[in-house]
A and B are shown apart, each in its own frame.
Chain A
Amino acid sequence: MAEQVAMAGIQRLWRIATLVLIFALGAWAWASGLLPTMADLWDDIVYLGRQHIILVAISGGLAIAVGIPLGILLTRPGMQRYSNIALQFLNIGATIPTLAVLALSMSILGIGDTPAIFGLFVLTLLPIVSNTLAGIRAVPRHLIEAATGMGLSRGQILWQVELPNALFVIYAGIRTALAVNVGTVPLAFLIGGGGLGELIFSGIALNEFGMMLAGAIPTALLAIMVDFLMSQMQLWTIPRGVNPLR
């Protein structure tokens, strides 16, 4: 009881402190002219924001469309040898910093949309492939045996047993991948991909706080929103029987 009362007290204090902090930040932002600057940049925010989202959609969509089939392919019988090598490769790939991937993409493809999308695609692809591979491999052997013994064909086993039971892990991979993707899109500006990164980097270069925030705040909100959407999809679209969240 005492603990609960104390907790409630702490929570109330916390809430009040947050409100005060937000208010103070807002007042300071207004007084220093940041918010008016951001309002002036509204058209840019909308234009670049759309570019930003298009980059995420194209590179992320491509990565999902390629990554899942590739992951499935690596689990097929006969691919065992390649899949072990691929897993090693994917593990190392996951540690390579995002800026390095974009830089390498630029050194091969030059400047513009294509190297930006390609770099983002590669970054997004790795977690999707490795999670698809790991998810399907983790489906218990006896489920496959039961399915085979009852006369399900290879394709039926894949669609009715392997994929549904790997779905949670595959989703987790997509969620991680999209988080990396959304977090890296602002850097795509550096190699000519456009997006909200333009406002942030220009703001830093020009020492314009308003411009910086006009890029940074929507970028942060977008990232949080995408992650939230993915978590909700993970929660609601995966059948209850194989969803550890439900």
Chain B
Amino acid sequence: MEILSYIIANWDLIMVRTGQHIAIVGVAVGLAILTGVPIGILITQNKRLATGVLYVASIIITIPSIALFGIMIPVLSLIGQGIGYLPAVIAVLLYSQLPIIRNTYTAISNVDPALREAGRGMGLTRLQRLREVELPLAVPVIMAGVRIAVVMNIGVTAIAAYIGAGGLGDFISRGISQTDPRQLVTGALAVSVLAVAADFALLGLQRLLTSPGLRETARTPA
């Protein structure tokens, strides 16, 4: 009850911090799509390059977020941005690379060679084939990667409250330091609801972006 009244009393603050949270994840994942998808497409041209890039991305994603912040702060301090919005965005950007690059790469390299052949047979250039055949087929799988990135990074951004990035993590960090269960539970609930909601919304978007001709068979690698 106490928690409910806290939530009602602080509704505006919750909305402000949700906005901050979304701003970090949205901008960073948006940038990650702009970098990850081209990288994913590029590495389909060379198997060894692909192995190398995916390996590096998988090591980055293994690094615990707070450790990544800890390593980035001294470096970014050199340009006066050690804490706050920028390191949070950079971390999310880095963590999003693996799911987006990997899913783009897998989706494009799994396009049925017969389709590629047919495209070439009809006289499509490489770029035309990419635009007309390979990308449309790959979109659902790429979206699945984006969805994984968003859900994961809503969690990472919560932790970024500790480096002054704001967002819903602030409720949790204050709740812990002030031993205040109201803020603690509010923060935990809000960030969980945001993650679950984003998951559902992106799943819907993923279905929407899937060409109707593919809907039954689209598979999303985890």
Residues of A within 8 A of B (CB): 3, 7, 25, 29, 32, 34, 92, 95-101, 103-104, 106-107, 111, 179, 182-187, 190-191, 197, 200-201, 203-204, 209, 212-213, 215-217, 219-220, 223-224, 227
Contacts and interface: CB of A to CB of B under 8 A. Distances in A.
Q: Which of B62, B70, B175 is most buried by chain A, counting CB atoms within 10 A of its CB?
A: B70
Given A183-B65, A215-B70, 12 more contacts: A99-B191, A104-B188, A187-B66, A187-B159, A200-B70, A201-B162, A204-B73, A209-B74, A212-B73, A215-B67, A216-B69, A216-B71
Contacts of A106: 176, 184
A98 B73 CA distance: 22
Q: Is the interface of B mostly helix, strand, loop or mixed?
A: helix
A201 B191 CA distance: 21
B155 A98 contact: yes
B23 interface: no
Interface in B63-108: 63-71, 73-75, 77, 83
Give the bracket for the number of chain B residues in contact with chain A. Answer: 35 or more
B113 to A, nearest CB: 20
A100 B192 CA distance: 7
27 contacts: A7-B48, A7-B49, A34-B74, A95-B196, A98-B159, A99-B155, A100-B155, A100-B191, A103-B188, A106-B184, A107-B184, A107-B185, A179-B62, A182-B64, A201-B162, A209-B77, A212-B70, A213-B71, A216-B67, A216-B69, A219-B66, A220-B67, A220-B68, A220-B71, A223-B64, A224-B59, A227-B62
Interface in B175-220: 175-176, 179, 181, 184-185, 187-189, 191-192, 195-196, 199
B149 interface: no
Contacts, number: 127
A107 B73 contact: no
Given A99-B159, A223-B63, A217 B71 contact: yes
Contact of B158 (A25, A95, A99, A215): A99
